[in-house]
């Protein structure tokens, strides 16, 4: 059974260097953090350790620099945001396990936080070679000196078999961070013991990204509401024309099977009855609402594409959410970044924000959407910090970072 952060603090951390895997993988506009949700989510554990006297060393990644030093993916903007929000001292290393990192780790004092440069700058972090990853993990562990410890508080990375997530747990006494612990508890309840009706909203662009999740939820969810680009494969499976909308033809037979299975298993799959149909993928494109039975009709004809669920569908989705006791949402139901195609996602967010249900937003684009649309985190039951990780958890997969901790 995994040891918790409270177990570590009870053992005593004053004067000890504690290596923490945090999730600072924030979206950037240049060097500006556009959504600091993950930084804020990382703060409680880092602050808790620092206040207990630990010398905290933070490992995190940002983007996919593919094992090379690329200034575009520097952790510094995220670390600077952490320093701005924290009420304990934060310093930043210019490398990962190099001279600067070692010197700053050695110079740490009780209650201070050091953020290492992007761990993915080192190709060994994501290597498929076990020995290479283990070697990198040993160098990371060496930064803690004598009597070090490791805390995994990066739920957004627990589905990765990476050195700072998986291998490091074999190098140091290891503990489950509070954020990861909460994520596991909430998602476990959603998938194993939801209060019913249990409604799942699935969006995003590709149905192939969500196949395993849908497969695992058939027979568990009472209703599956499907939106986003992935919906057009479902509509095609029902025989509807979809114009130039995003379509994965190779998944149509699979989706037909899901529709049949769901009906037999008592899971209602709810598809849009209308869509916002646009002449092109552009914010200022000519657009109109079309019923799915006549998606190629109207002024735009058969050359356009669907970019949002329509208003009637949004009302149906909102009513299903309002009647639910548990709701899990992953993926926007339209191209919310463009104002004409954000109304469906707004309707889902508003229905969740005003619902009495236990609402869980599965990270990633869904989390960005609700924040960008002006909603506060505390208007929802739980916003996951891990899009891919939360999906794989809901799929029922074993996640390497949790396995390494015995969770």
Does 62 belong to an annotated binding site?
Answer: yes
**Could you give the percent of the chain with pLDDT greater than 70?**
98
Under 8 Å between Cβ of 89 and 115:
no
- The pLDDT, as a whole number, for residue 299 is 57
Residue 205 has pLDDT above 90, yes or no: no
The upper half-sphere exposure of residue 345, i.e. CA atoms within 13 Å in the direction of its Cβ, equals: 31
Residue 239 has pLDDT above 80, yes or no: yes
Q: Work out whether the CA dihedral 169, 171, 172, 173 comes out positive or negative.
A: positive
Mean of pLDDT over the chain: 94
Confidence class of residue 296 from pLDDT cuts 50, 70 and 90?
low
Residue 326 has pLDDT above 80, yes or no: yes
How far is 231 from 240, CA to CA, in rounded Å?
A: 11
- The pLDDT, as a whole number, for residue 371 is 87
Distances, alpha carbon 163 to alpha carbons 103, 112, 154, 157, in Å: 22, 24, 13, 11
Residue 50 has pLDDT above 80, yes or no: yes
- The pLDDT, as a whole number, for residue 67 is 97
Residue 301 has pLDDT above 70, yes or no: no
- Tens of pLDDT, residue by residue over 99-144, are 999 999 999 999 999 999 999 999 999 999 999 999 999 999 999 9
- Tens of pLDDT, residue by residue over 337-349, are 999 999 999 999 9
- The pLDDT, as a whole number, for residue 206 is 83
Does 366 belong to an annotated binding site?
Answer: yes
| Average pLDDT over every residue of 225-242 | 93
Give me the residue label for tokens 């949790």.
402
| Average pLDDT over every residue of 230-249 | 92
Does 306 belong to an annotated binding site?
Answer: yes
- Tens of pLDDT, residue by residue over 61-110, are 999 999 999 999 999 999 999 999 999 999 999 999 999 999 999 999 99
Residue 280 has pLDDT above 90, yes or no: yes
Residue 298 has pLDDT above 80, yes or no: no
**Could you give the percent of the chain with pLDDT greater than 90?**
86
- The pLDDT, as a whole number, for residue 387 is 82
- The pLDDT, as a whole number, for residue 9 is 97
Which positions are catalytic?
A: 38, 206, 364, 388
| Average pLDDT over every residue of 298-309 | 78
- The pLDDT, as a whole number, for residue 300 is 59
Q: What's the predicted TM-score (pTM) here?
A: 0.89
Confidence class of residue 200 from pLDDT cuts 50, 70 and 90?
very high
Does 402 belong to an annotated binding site?
Answer: no
Q: Across 206-215, 246-255, 288-297, which has the greatest mean pLDDT? A: 246-255
Give all domains of the chain, ordered by start, each with its CATH number.
Answer: 5-182 (3.40.50.1260), 194-395 (3.40.50.1260)
- The pLDDT, as a whole number, for residue 336 is 94
Does 23 belong to an annotated binding site?
Answer: yes
Does 304 belong to an annotated binding site?
Answer: no
- Tens of pLDDT, residue by residue over 252-262, are 999 999 999 99
Task: Kindly tell me the burial class for residue 376, based on how many C-beta atoms sit within 10 Å of its own C-beta (0-12, 13-18, 19 or more).
Answer: exposed
- The pLDDT, as a whole number, for residue 118 is 98
User: Which distant-in-sequence residues (6+ apart) come within 8 Å of 165 by Cβ?
Assistant: 21, 152, 154, 157, 158, 400, 401, 404
- The pLDDT, as a whole number, for residue 407 is 81
Assigned token pair, 194:
């939801």
- The pLDDT, as a whole number, for residue 388 is 87
Under 8 Å between Cβ of 60 and 25:
yes
Does 378 belong to an annotated binding site?
Answer: no
Residue 327 has pLDDT above 60, yes or no: yes
How far is 78 from 39, CA to CA, in rounded Å?
A: 7
Backbone angles phi, psi at 14, to 5 degrees: -60, 125
Does 133 belong to an annotated binding site?
Answer: no
Radius of gyration of the chain (CA): 23
């Amino acid at each position: 059974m995994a040891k918790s952060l409270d177990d570590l603090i009870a053992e005593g951390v004053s004067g000890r260097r504690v290596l923490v895997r945090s999730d600072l993988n924030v979206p950037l506009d240049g060097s500006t953090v556009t959504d600091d949700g993950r930084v804020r989510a990382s703060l409680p554990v880092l602050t808790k350790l620092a206040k207990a006297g630990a010398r905290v060393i933070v490992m995190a990644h940002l983007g996919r620099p593919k094992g090379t030093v690329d200034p575009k993916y520097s952790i510094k903007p995220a670390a600077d945001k952490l320093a701005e929000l924290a009420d304990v001292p934060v310093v930043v290393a210019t490398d990962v396990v190099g001279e600067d990192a070692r010197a700053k780790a050695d110079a740490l004092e009780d209650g201070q936080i050091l953020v290492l440069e992007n761990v993915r700058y080192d190709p060994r972090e994501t290597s498929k070679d076990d020995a290479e990853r283990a070697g990198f993990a040993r160098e990371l562990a060496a930064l803690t000196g004598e009597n070090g410890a490791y805390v995994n508080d990066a739920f957004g990375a627990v589905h990765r078999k990476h050195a700072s997530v998986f291998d490091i747990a074999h190098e140091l006494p290891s503990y489950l961070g509070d954020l990861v612990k909460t994520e596991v508890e909430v998602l476990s309840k959603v998938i194993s013991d939801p209060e019913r009706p249990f409604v799942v909203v699935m969006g995003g662009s590709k149905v192939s990204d969500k196949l395993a999740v849908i497969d695992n939820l058939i027979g568990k969810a009472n209703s599956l509401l499907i939106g986003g680009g992935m919906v057009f494969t479902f509509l095609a499976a029902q025989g509807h024309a979809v114009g130039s909308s995003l379509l994965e033809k190779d998944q149509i037979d699979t989706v037909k099977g899901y529709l049949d299975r769901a009906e037999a298993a008592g899971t209602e799959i709810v598809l849009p009855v209308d869509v916002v149909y646009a002449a092109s993928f552009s914010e200022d494109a000519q657009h109109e609402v079309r019923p799915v039975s006549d998606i190629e009709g109207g002024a735009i004809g058969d050359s356009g594409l669907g970019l949002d669920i329509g208003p009637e569908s949004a009302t149906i989705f909102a009513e299903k959410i309002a009647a639910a006791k548990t709701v899990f949402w992953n993926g926007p139901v339209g191209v919310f970044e463009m104002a004409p195609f954000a109304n469906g996602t707004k309707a889902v967010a508003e229905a969740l924000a005003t619902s009495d249900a236990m609402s869980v937003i599965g990270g990633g684009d869904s989390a960005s959407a609700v924040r960008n649309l002006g909603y506060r985190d505390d208007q929802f039951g739980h916003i996951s910090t891990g899009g891919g990780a939360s999906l794989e958890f809901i799929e029922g997969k074993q996640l390497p970072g949790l396995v390494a901790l015995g969770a």
